[in-house]
Structure 1
Amino acid sequence: MTKGGYNLGIDFKGGTLLELHFSPAVPVGDIRDALASVDVGTRTLDLRQSEIKEFGTPNDILIRVEEEAEGTAVADGIRNTLQSRFGSNIPVESEWLRRQEAVGPKIGEELKSDAISAIFVSIVLIIIYIWFRFKRIQYGIAAVVALVHDVLITLGVFSLFDLEISLAIVASLLTIVGYSLNDTIVVFDRVREDLRLYRRETFGQILNRSINECLNRTVLTSGTTLFVVTSLLTLGGEVIHDFALALLVGVIIGTYSSSFVASPVVYFWLGRGEKEPTSAQTGAQNAA
């Protein structure tokens, strides 16, 4: 993340995206040359510096333009230019235009704001829910620390490899939050039960026991989830590749954070330095 921020997609920055299919294929360099002069309304734009690349196969071309205009003017200008230049390489209209998106800068800013708001509202609700369920706010804060850890590492991977952050990636991050939270609650619930069963053990011993008891369940659940996500990543195609990659990273990170990030944070507050069962344990037992 420190190397230059995030590669925000059309959803957040605004602009135009086109996915086109040519048969036979047209080299990216020829398409870039053709876009040196594109008529958009009363203007003529040089779009050669836009992102133009193959998308899955040499026949499929992805064009991402940050140039803004009303409605679909930029997309229409690009399509008209390429049709006049490569008419023999263009099949019927329904097969040529695979995808078209146009987002204005104002909408992009609103989507960015809504995405950030959704994440923060989720964090607050998570703390309240776990506080209510386990009768101690420390459990809620520990769970959120683990979730923030999962999200930051996933975003760090996307920043490191300069992968695009789109609304689909925001959806994957919320999915990761839900998955990791479920694992964390399972561990905390086992801690609550063991506090009631093993009253003579210290909080640290009970925490260690609970993690071990949940380990088989965690490994099996994560293994089956990773199998599905890996299948999406390898077989799902370019359209959902980044979404599946975010889930893959998030599930792997979330698997260990539930036990080895959230639990130590709880121990830091409730059990650090104790030698005998403390009032913190007694309170948790009574609450359970």
Structure 2
Amino acid sequence: MRLPRLYPLRLWPDESHFDFMRLRHISLPFSAAISVAVIAIFLIFGLNYGVDFKGGTLIEMQPQSAEQRVPVATVRDKANSFGYGEVEVQEFGNDGGVSLRFPIQPGGEAAQGVVVEKARAEFGAGYSFERVETVGPRVSGELVQSGTIGVILAVLAVLVYLWFRFERELAIAAIIGTLHDIVLTIGFFVITRHEFNMTSIAAILTIVGYSLNETVVVFDRTRELLRRYKTMPTIELLNLSINTTMSRTAITSMTTILSLVALVWFGGRAIEGFAQVMLAGVFICTYSAIFISTPTLIYIGVRVAQRRQAQEGRGVPQPAE
């Protein structure tokens, strides 16, 4: 029996000649405007820091039955009546779940424990306590410092890698794309008001790695084509580099998106925020590699730099194909 011939999966035609660079007149101003807006909103409103960074007590409750659900305003009034300061109360999920965030209380861990016992006594009859976290001011300060240093060192390491991985012009474009992805990821936190905690730090570092991966794939092909086609116009060459790697980019993005969608739907409350940030990050990084990093090479003048290196004897011109 003759088995049917299997063909490799292609989400993008191999012989495609789509003009991606034509869209640079829209994508670059759009991303610049969004980045400026994100920075402005960040400076005005800041991030919604979680208990990890602010300190205090976080309690998440679920009603034991539909009949025992209490309006959020009622829960807020009862929590504020405890006398422990202004309590942040939010509803989450579709089952009436409520989160309460109490500020740091003087008196150390014992005082935070009193807050939890008071909440159990008031809401324990109708709610089950799904999550209770308590972080003191000293611990939260250390986490802020460690998290900030970790992100800065990781980003610097990525930027140094890009600088030595590519020629100067390619490295500059890759660095611009990576910084763009970081800014828009922070913007996702600012706009959606997702809680920013240690898990968010892990999400940002993961997105930086994904951004680096997407950029390296496209720019490796760009560098290869620059050496092969000496007389091809820059715009045409950049379009060719994206079209020839687009199938790989589409497959990688789609498999990652499917995994993250499954985590968002079925992963539970603990990793839902991480999965949502990563899902947004995949779209941002894929968009950035195609419509930000690569078009930037046109304005940096990658062809001019290549010709200058050849004239100085640092590159040996090859016959045009």
* TM-score for both structures, normalised by structure 2: 0.73
Structure 1 residues 70 and 268: CA distance shift in structure 2, 3 A: farther
Deviations 1:85-111 (A, max 9, x none): 455446xxxxx4432222223332332
Gaps in structure 2 of 5+ consecutive residues: 1-37, 317-321
Q: CA deviation at 1:187?
A: 0.8
State the partner residue of 1:236: 267
Aligned pair 1:112/2:153, yes or no?
Answer: no
Aligned pair 1:63/2:100, yes or no?
Answer: yes
What SS is found at the alignment partner of 1:72?
helix
State the partner residue of 2:17: none
1:133 to 165, 181, 202: 165
CA contact (8 A) 1:51 1:65 kept: yes
CA distance in 2, matches of 1:281, 1:56: 61
Structure 1 residues 74 and 191: CA distance shift in structure 2, 3 A: same
CA distance in 2, matches of 1:85, 1:107: 28
1:151 partner amino acid: I
What SS is found at the alignment partner of 1:53?
strand
Matches within 5 A, 1:17-56: 17-24=58-65, 25=68, 27=70, 28-36=72-80, 38=82, 45-47=83-85, 49-56=86-93
RMSD across aligned positions (CA): 2.8
Q: CA deviation at 1:141?
A: 2.8
State the partner residue of 1:41: none
Structure 1 residues 280 and 260: CA distance shift in structure 2, 3 A: farther
CA distance in 1, matches of 2:254, 2:310: 33
Structure 1 residues 137 and 123: CA distance shift in structure 2, 3 A: farther
Q: CA deviation at 1:74?
A: 4.1
Aligned pair 1:188/2:232, yes or no?
Answer: no
Q: CA deviation at 1:207?
A: 2.4
CA distance in 2, matches of 1:86, 1:271: 64
Structure possessing the higher relative contact order (Cα contacts under 8 Å, 6 or more residues apart): 2
* TM-score for both structures, normalised by structure 1: 0.81
CA distance in 2, matches of 1:87, 1:245: 31
CA distance in 1, matches of 2:277, 2:81: 37
Deviations 1:156-186 (A, max 9, x none): 2321232221111121111111111101001
Aligned pair 1:250/2:270, yes or no?
Answer: no
Q: CA deviation at 1:202?
A: 4.0
What SS is found at the alignment partner of 2:231?
coil
Matches within 5 A, 1:160-175: 160-175=191-206
Q: CA deviation at 1:280?
A: 4.4
1:64 partner amino acid: R
State the partner residue of 2:247: 216
Q: CA deviation at 1:62?
A: 1.9
State the partner residue of 2:308: 279
2:237 to 181, 206, 209: 206
CA distance in 1, matches of 2:239, 2:181: 22
What percentage of residue pairs aligned between the two structures are identical?
Answer: 35
Structure 1 residues 22 and 72: CA distance shift in structure 2, 3 A: farther
CA contact (8 A) 1:16 1:66 kept: yes
Number of equivalences:
271
Q: CA deviation at 1:78?
A: 2.9
CA contact (8 A) 1:75 1:100 kept: no
Q: CA deviation at 1:35?
A: 3.4
Structure 1 residues 80 and 30: CA distance shift in structure 2, 3 A: farther
CA contact (8 A) 1:16 1:74 kept: no
